[in-house]
Structure 1
């Protein structure tokens, strides 16, 4: 053994990151489905009426908009913390 761990393998790191992203995406879809189902589905039936279909569509769009807003906000916060700590070191 050369002393390197399995986490030093870039292919393994890339695979782990891809699997982690898939897992996060699946969690997001599950959460969105749960929220929109509770909000829009009054009584399950053999097909969706136009009101329910519109509700689901709007719910999904707002969920995606909100998720994107939160991600952008977190990125801005991280960037501002990074520049703040860099300024502190100067």
Structure 2
């Protein structure tokens, strides 16, 4: 449909078209936000998590093998990172479904 055909629509159709366009614009904004968040946040979170995990867990000198406490600490950090990532994905999915 061309823009010239819009004035020929009845008021109900114009309103329906207006609502549809607003919804599509909202979806586009959300998708752009998701794209931005997933591209920057995941990279940032990985860096922060790895630095925090390493700085928190590796307390002794570096050797060929982690100590039992270092390995457990790193495992906990990875688990928290995965839980956080899953939480973020679920929140984004929830927001997307609300549109």
Category of TM-score, reference length = shorter chain: 0.5 to 0.7
TM-score by length of 2: 0.48
TM-score, with length taken from structure 1? 0.52
Q: How does 1:9-48 map to 2 (within 5 A)?
A: 27-46=44-63, 47-48=65-66
Report the equivalent of 1:5: none
Q: CA 1:29–1:58 in structure 2 vs 1: closer, same or farther (change >3 Å)?
A: same
1:57-77 residue CA offsets vs partner (Å, 9 max, x unmatched): 111011111111111112202
Alignment RMSD (CA, Å): 2.6
- Greater than 2 Å deviation, 4+ residue runs: 23-32
Higher relative contact order, structure no. (Cα contacts within 8 Å, ≥ 6 residues apart): 2
Aligned length: 62
Give, in angstroms, the shift of residue 45 of structure 1.
Answer: 2.4
Larger radius of gyration: 2
Deviation of 1:29 (Å): 3.5
Q: Specify every segment of 5 or more residues in structure 1 that has no aligned partner in the other structure, as ranges.
A: 1-19, 83-90
